Amino acid sequence: MTLSWLQIVRLGLVQLCLGAVVVLTTSTLNRLMVVELALPAMLSGALVALHSFVQITRPSWGFWSDAQGKRTRFIIGGMAVLSCGAALASLMVALAVAGQGWGLAVSVLAYVLIGVGAGASGTSLLALLASGCAPDRRAAAATITWLMMIFGIAVTSGAIGTLLDPYSPRRLMVIVAIVTLGAVLITAAAVAGIERKVMPARLPDETPLRKGLAEVWAERRTRIFTLFIFLSMTAFFLQELILEPYAGLVFQFTPGQSTSLSGAQHAGMFVGMLAVGIAVSGLKIGSLRGWVAAGCFGSAAMLTVIAGLGQVGIGLLTPAVTLLGVFSGMFAIASIGAMMQLAGQGRAGREGTRMGVWGASQAIAQGLGGFAGAALVDLLRLSRDSADAFGMVFLIEAFLFVAAGLMAWRIIGGARLRAAAPQLLPGE
């Protein structure tokens, strides 16, 4: 049996929960540390980068879920670890000790837990989708599940933005408790029984981890796509940790307003993803290469506009960020659709391992991009005002998006997103 549409939507609920919990750490807590606690953006950037670098373990989680054939326990267990880490990190911010002494040490532990939990749960979920979906449903499944994740991020950001004003540590912890506990309960209910119905029972794979990873890395298609993901995701995440501080320091947004700004960005991503999903999967309009390139070039244009708004002082930041989200969503869903398709191509029984390799590449790019953006802002603000410092980083990100778009045009085929049967490349 393969995943039904209802089961795909149920797994999408897990993606929704992942997005809801992670946005607490990459958006809300980041803003509170930089603005309310007056900590260096580099510090919060380093913590978020840590949770990304920990996800270099994703190939291991993917391989183990392949080998053991028990993805459900990795999905639920990973969500529980992720939620515990998010709650612990929030507690350190609420106590105003996240940047010093024992509070900093506990924050480091919390972000390690966040990285481990997100890696284990997210990789195993994508592997279950890739291996359980019929070939002609993989692209649509990618669209559905990622739209649900973005919806979860947008709704969570918007709701937190509304409920967090006026800010208080107690209010923060109540919100965090509801989000994290709800995420674990929804995940457990959403995945219950699915793997048993769609995945045939099989004996554990005794292949050693190192050999299993080497087999997948030997696939030429896997290596090339890994490189593209790294470059494009570095561009994608460069602004993640500086957009809300930019809104607060340059445009005087309140904590609630800046969190709502993040919600507007992710709402735009939702629209962009939905548009591409309908155009490509439903109306057969455009090619994978075209949508990825258009998303990259459009994102570069909007980042240039956002940088310029800080120079002229025009209060159009929210519409510009929303449009940035639209173009980012276009780029992301086309890339994810290709990822879902390619995960099922190559050596059989290694869907989780491939998703893990690509997830690790994305995580490293997220960590480098996020930290580099925050560090560059800190350094540039030593000699320039805030508007100039943030604007220069946004322009650097725009340049990287242009480079990623050109790379996509060269290396990604022009065919539309479509089902493809698993196969081996010559010599693999």
Q: Is residue 419 part of a domain?
A: no
The total of structural domains in the chain comes to: 1
pLDDT given for residue 327 in this prediction: 93
Domain limits for position 353 = 5-198+205-411
Exposed (0-12), middle (13-18) or buried (19+): which is 84, by Cβ within 10 Å? middle
- Summarize pLDDT for 5-33 with one digit per residue, the tens: 888 889 989 999 998 898 888 778 877 88
Summarize the confidence of residues 35-55 as an average pLDDT: 80
Beta strands in 287-340 (DSSP E): none
Listing DSSP states for 134-176 in one string gives -GGGHHHHHHHHHHHHHHHHHHHHHHHHHHSSSP-HHHHHHHH
The three-class DSSP label of residue 108 is helix
Q: Is residue 375 part of a domain?
A: yes
Q: What is the pTM of this model?
A: 0.72
Lookup: tokens for 48: 């978020």
Cα→Cα distances 21→17, 59, 74, 85, 150, Å: 6, 22, 17, 10, 12
- Summarize pLDDT for 88-112 with one digit per residue, the tens: 999 998 888 877 888 889 999 999 9
Q: Is residue 184 part of a domain?
A: yes
Q: Is residue 393 part of a domain?
A: yes
pLDDT at 72 over 80: yes
Q: Is residue 313 part of a domain?
A: yes
Q: Is residue 350 part of a domain?
A: yes
- Summarize pLDDT for 354-410 with one digit per residue, the tens: 777 887 888 788 778 877 888 888 888 888 888 888 888 899 999 989 988 887 777
Neighbours of 426 (CB within 10 A): 5
- How do the residues of the chain divide into helix, strand and coil, expressed in percent and rounded to 5? 80, 0, 20
Q: Is residue 27 part of a domain?
A: yes
In this structure, which amino acid lies at residue 54?
V
Q: Is residue 425 part of a domain?
A: no
What is the CATH number for 115?
1.20.1250.20
